[in-house]
Amino acid sequence: MKKILIVLTGFLFSGSLVAAPMPDNVYFRAMNDEMQRSLKELRLKNQPNPYLISYWISRKYMLEISADMGSLVRQYNDPLDDGYIQVQAFVSVGSDQQDGLGFMADDRGYYYYRQPKLPSQREVPFSYDSLRQTLWEVTDQAYLQAVDLYKQKQNYKKKKNIQDKLPDVVPAKPAQFVEPIAPFKQPDMEQLSRQVKEISALGKKHPHLEYFEVSLRLSQEDRYSLNSRGSFVQYSQPRKKLAFNAGFRRPDGQMVETYQRFDLRDISTAEMDRIKQEAEKFLEKVDHSREAKPGEAYVGPILLKPQAASYFLMSSLLKDLQNSKPFLLSFADDDDEAGKLYKKRQLRAGTDLITVYDLPQKREFDGFVLERFLPVDGEGVAAKDLTLLQDGYVKEFPLTQRPLTKNHHSNGHALINNMYGPREKLTNVFVETKKPLTDQEMEDKLRARCRELGLAYGYILEQAFDSDMGIERIYTEDGRKERVIDLRWEDIPTARDLRAVLAVGGKRELQQGTLEGPAIVTPSILLQEAELVPVEHKPHRQPFVPRPK
């Protein structure tokens, strides 16, 4: 079954039509022809005309294999069905000085699904005529929504007596990025299914598990975009993912459902063997967590392993570097999503032990594909590398064409969401240090700090802050470790916590996969102080009979 996702969003950009060479394929021919026609003919009486149009087309291929306790539970192979096509249209009205950008109305969601009439031939999975028809429909409706949003914004500004000191949009040079699209490679499904089933069968050795599901997902997204400024993009973004999902009961009957996600370098036998070893480690942690005792309230140093460190960095620093320019909201006084560091950019925001970069055009790390690769941003501007934090101070912010100051220039970090216009976003975040320590040195430093404070033990966090897998307690005197459960952070980490870093590890790991968050490559981080508090759970009823063997 062929599917189309159509996203309609009306936003208001600045620019003029720029003629430039582009790839000669059905996607760009359909986009360019409908764009030229719409710019000339799309009109609404007594309303501003469209003066810029942006199109995105993505074709997604995906296969998935899932097995639970050695049995295949799901096998999905989308390429046999010609992939999944997504079409987005953005129509712009108004002018550089006044447009509808940066404004949210109550009815700000503009997307829906549609099943177009498509040719039945496999060799023509998506035709020029079908694309033109779809682009015409989404452009028509996106224009109507752009006009409506423009009027709402102008009425809102008049009602609130908002006087513009800056234009809504500043110009930027249009960018192009083109690389050949390689066909999605069909793997040996039989062999992959066998490997996934073998890994999931490891759960049978653990009688307390109620399920242990292993899911492998391989995908490729072919991206094509064009705007009437002259920016265009064509490239492919592959993804290789594997996940463990497990459910078990603790002795008191509490049901715990936990998971772990992995990026894959490839699907070779050696890589799948690595995943098998990771599964054995995961199941061992499950065993220890099941028998672990609840922890007690704690205030003291905490060692964050790379995955936990990535969540810490997102909460304490990265989220407040994004969305620097607040939106105007018809339904609220303040934009809660707006970053808070831009107004405090002269203040110390973190430790001088780390330097943080954003590298949008980097494709890989340690053999893993970076999902946030961004050659050209959502506004058609070339994405630039940024130094975010250095010597404890913020050096650069992600910027769009929405100006924050008089001499504002975009650095190509605009993300256009399905529901609202360009916001300042990060892509691939890399954390470096000039004073890296080994894993053992990090643990020794944690114990030394606990000894200075007269603490009998400290804590090592491996995963997210509220992980059901528990955390490790490490004893000050002998370095002995044990797993405890039901502890969480008292408060969400802030920049104040980032200023109190004692040490940084040398081995970096990649964490990625959140919907709008950046990919983060970070080492371990030792915090001087954090507070953990107990979490209470209500016991669940246990099954009347145990799991069948």
- Interval 91-117: pLDDT, tens: 888 888 888 888 887 644 433 333 343
The pLDDT of residue 493 is above 90: no
**Length of the chain, please?**
549
Q: Is the pLDDT of residue 432 over 90?
A: yes
Instruction: Report the candidate in 343, 289, 55, 13 with the shortest Cα–Cα distance to residue 150.
Output: 13
Q: How far apart are CA 506 and CA 305, in angstroms?
A: 11
Please, which residues have CB within 8 angstroms of residue 455's CB and are 6 or more apart in sequence?
300, 476
Q: Give the mean pLDDT of 256-274.
A: 92
Closest of 356, 435, 428 to residue 388, by C-alpha: 356
Q: What percent of the chain has pLDDT over 90?
A: 59
Write the CA distances from 229 to 64, 170, 174, 225, 226, integer angstroms. 39, 13, 6, 12, 8
Phi first, then psi, for residue 378 (nearest 5°) are -65, -20
Predicted confidence (pLDDT) per residue in 508-527, tens digit: 999 997 756 899 999 999 99
User: CB under 8 Å, gap of 24 or more: what pairs does 511-516 form?
Assistant: 511/306, 511/307, 511/310, 511/311, 512/263, 512/370, 512/371, 512/372, 513/241, 513/261, 513/371, 516/415, 516/417, 516/425
pLDDT of residue 250: 82
Q: What is the pLDDT of residue 272?
A: 94
Who has greater pLDDT, 246 or 290? 246
End-to-end CA distance of the chain: 39
**CB atoms near residue 524 (< 10 Å):** 27
Task: State which of 121-135, 249-263, 458-472 shows the largest mean pLDDT.
Answer: 249-263
**Of all helices (H) and strands (E), which one includes residue 328?**
strand 328-329
Residue 1: pLDDT above 70? no
pLDDT of 118-158, one tens digit each? 332 223 347 898 889 889 988 998 899 889 889 999 999 99
Q: How confident is the model at residue 469, as a pLDDT? A: 67
pLDDT at 508: 97
d(CA 59, CA 57) in angstroms, rounded, equals: 7
Of 229, 222, 236, 128, residue with least CA distance to 176: 229
DSSP string, 132-171: HHHHHHHHHHHHHHHHHHHHHHHHHHHHHTPPPSS-S---
Distance CA 531, CA 299 (A): 4
User: Would the pLDDT of 17 be above 50?
Assistant: no
pLDDT (0 to 100) of residue 13: 39
| Dist. CA 414–CA 402, nearest whole Å | 9
Is residue 428's pLDDT more than 70? yes
Note the pLDDT of residue 388: 96
The pLDDT of residue 119 is 32
* pLDDT, tens only, 364-400: 999 999 999 999 999 999 999 999 999 999 999 999 9
Say whether pLDDT at 252 is over 90: no
**Mean pLDDT highest for which of 330-339, 364-373, 463-472?**
364-373
Asked whether the beta carbons of 231 and 175 are under 8 A apart, the reply is: yes
Q: State the number of CA atoms in the 13 A half-sphere of 509 facing the CB.
A: 19
pLDDT digits (tens, 9 = 90+) for 31-89: 999 999 999 999 988 898 888 899 999 898 889 999 999 999 999 886 555 567 888 88
Judge contact between 276 and 198, C-beta under 8 A.
Answer: yes
Q: Where are the alpha helices (H) located in 332-391, listed in sequence order?
A: none
Count of CB atoms situated within 10 Å of the CB of 347: 11
Closest CA to 324 of 310, 335, 316, 309: 335
| Confidence category of residue 345, pLDDT binned at 50, 70, 90 | confident
Quote the pLDDT of residue 320: 93
Helix (H) or strand (E) holding 2: none
Give, as one character, the DSSP assignment of residue 36.
H
pLDDT greater than 70 at residue 533: yes
Query: Helix 189-200 vs helix 269-291: angle between axes, to the nearest 10 degrees?
Result: 20
The arithmetic mean of pLDDT across residues 195-222, rounded, is 95
The pLDDT of residue 114 is 36
- Residue 263: which of 238, 240, 237 has the closest Cα? 240
Q: What is the pLDDT of residue 116?
A: 40
Task: List the domains of the chain with CATH numbers.
Answer: 3-241 (3.30.2290)
Q: Identify the pLDDT of residue 95.
A: 85
**Number of CB atoms found within 10 A of residue 122's CB:** 9
Average pLDDT score over the chain: 87
Q: What is the mean pLDDT of residues 346-366?
A: 94
